[in-house]
Amino acid sequence: MGIAEWRGRLQRGEVSARELTDHCLARIEAVDGTVHAFLEVTADRARADAERIDAARAAGDALPPLAGIPLAIKDNLCTQGIRTTCSSRMLETFVPPYESTVTERLWQAGAVLLGKTNLDEFAMGSSTETSAFGPSRNPWDPERVPGGSSGGSSAAVAAGECIASLGSDTGGSIRQPASFCGVVGLKPTYGRVSRWGLVAFASSLDQVGPFTTSVADAAELLQVIAGADPRDATCLTAPVPDYRAALQQPVKGLRVGIVRECFEAEGLAAEVKASVMAAAEQLQALGCELVDVSCPRFNDGIATYYVIAPSEASANLARYDGVKYGYRAEAAGSLAEMTARSRAEGFGDEVQRRILIGTYALSAGYVDAYYKKAQQVRTLIRRDFDRAFEAVDVLLTPTSPTTAFRFGAHSDDPLAMYLADLLTIPANMAGLPAISLPCGFDQQGLPIGLQLITGVLQEERLLQVAHHYEQAARVMADRPRAELVPEDSLLP
């Protein structure tokens, strides 16, 4: 049941906000011991928020659009008075004195905070295995990863622990876990949503977006969190359109580009390719025109990303020195020794690896050979997209080359892990909006994700095409949920 349906039930008095919140909290208690989607459950606050909504409704007050809807928040978004750890020992005790812009907008819209969700440490990973507090698990198969870095947020939605959640996407960290967990994940245009209060990984790539069970719900959340923010200099000032109205616009005559390089990508599973091509044929049946397009540097995105993102991470994470806040190692020596030990003990292996890569790429004598050249390739990737959108309205690719892999499958091979984001990274390189939604299942019953990409600030078209495909294909409508996620009578 989606946000609009719950809103209707709440307005008609068929259920109270407190009852809906209590159901989600009970669901968390029942399954999160296995899923480990949450790092912290804010049960007392959630119940108090819900009761305020119920009291306002009883008093006849006009209520905002998300009034009483329980949500979960990735634990790299600052929440005032509630720990924000980034799944790192470095920030294990950090309690922000301020609220991020996106979460502030959610609470103003009446949403209820259930808690903070697990992630790869500082959002650096593709499986949630780098979390300092243990990995999250895929509700479809607990022996497999939920993806990353927003694995906790995607798993929480897939397991029915919340109505929707927020994540962040630097190179695919919303779309890839959405694909692995069989939910909808939306990365908006860079700057469409404020980054103020999002703990920085790579500032030119990071973007906040929703996880939901439907495209319509993604539109609902984007409607609330999008828009200008004077506290974020990179936030766009363009007016926010009516995303929900865009869902009903017809798709007949739209041109859908099949990105040739994506279907020739390294490691692309045959079942994934077949399922995504079947989705393209479904769009064709809806009246879209399929067009073969080429983005010659699409698969160069991953090499470019792993110079630019670690370089920006190296600069951003330099602030964690054990002095002002965060983990401080016990050291009897100099300030330099204390700082070095604090970072060595506070950061995990993957974070240290990326900081070292980035520091090297920015070092004297190498910055031109690596960082500057990567930025030049990034420009070429964006130009490829510009040319493609002269011929088509939307691009279609798989979200990930494979379905969810088993824990430890890539633990000794970072490069193999990085390839999980091969098909999602280019949209971040160009700052484009992109969405992942379920388009089928493999022989093991694991979800397969379809990725759609549009031009800058074309979220209306992105949601429009995704919604029409979702409604026609009904991939999740009749599919029995994983055993961990049984159908249940949600409320009395």
Q: Is 64 exposed, middle or buried (0-12, 13-18, 19+ CB in 10 A)?
A: middle
Structural domain boundaries of the chain? 3-228+249-296+381-473
How confident is the prediction along the chain (492 residues), in pLDDT tens digits per residue?
899 999 999 999 999 999 999 999 999 999 999 999 999 999 999 999 999 999 999 999 999 999 999 999 999 999 999 999 999 999 999 999 999 999 999 999 999 999 999 999 999 999 999 999 999 999 999 999 999 999 999 999 999 999 999 999 999 999 999 999 999 999 999 999 999 999 999 999 999 999 999 999 999 999 999 999 999 999 999 999 999 999 999 999 999 999 999 998 878 999 999 999 999 999 999 999 999 999 999 999 999 999 999 999 999 999 999 888 889 998 768 888 899 999 999 999 999 999 999 999 999 989 999 999 999 999 999 999 999 999 999 999 999 999 999 999 887 787 788 888 999 999 999 999 999 999 999 999 999 999 999 999 999 999 999 999 999 999 998 665 555 555 454 443
Q: What pLDDT, on a 0 to 100 scale, did the predictor assign at position 301?
A: 95
- φ, ψ dihedrals at 468, nearest 5°: -65, -40
Express each pLDDT in 92-136 by its tens digit: 999 999 999 999 999 999 999 999 999 999 999 999 999 999 999
Identified catalytic residue from 100, 127, 165, 173 = 173
373 classed as catalytic:
no
Cα–Cα nearest to 39, from 76, 5, 87? 87
Round to whole Å and give the CA distance between 463 and 56.
32
Q: Which residue, chain included where needed, has tokens 């990930």?
A: 400
**Catalytic residue list contains 173:** yes
Q: Are strands 38-41 and 70-74 parallel, antiparallel or unpaired?
A: unpaired
> What separation in angstroms does the CA of 239 have from each of 102, 236, 243, 257, 298?
16, 9, 12, 27, 30
241 close to 221: Cβ distance less than 8 angstroms: no
Q: Is residue 136 within 8 Å of residue 33, measured between CB atoms?
A: no
User: What is the spatial distance between Cα 379 and Cα 346, in angstroms, rounded to a whole number?
Assistant: 35
Q: Helices 101-108 and 215-225 meet at what angle, rounded to 10?
A: 110
Dmax (CA) of the chain: 71
Give the single-character DSSP code of 431: T
Tokens of 312: 């920006």
Decide: helix, strand or coil at residue 429.
helix
d(CA 22, CA 8): 18
Token couple for 106: 């959610």
Residue 390 to residue 368: CA distance in whole angstroms: 32
Q: Give the C-alpha separation, 389 to 77, whole Å.
A: 33
Q: In this structure, are residues 174 and 85 in contact, taking their beta carbons and an 8 Å threshold?
A: no
Residue 485: what pLDDT? 56
pTM of the model: 0.96
Q: How many Cα atoms occupy the beta-carbon half-sphere of 438 within 13 Å?
A: 25
Active site residue 311: no
Out of 126, 131, 149, 400, pick the active-site residue: 149
How crowded is residue 323: how many other Cβ atoms within 10 Å of its Cβ?
A: 12
- Residue 330 has a pLDDT of 84
Assigned architecture for domain 3-228+249-296+381-473:
Alpha-Beta Complex (3.90)
Q: Using CA of residue 484, residue 136, residue 155, residue 399, what is the dihedral sign? A: negative
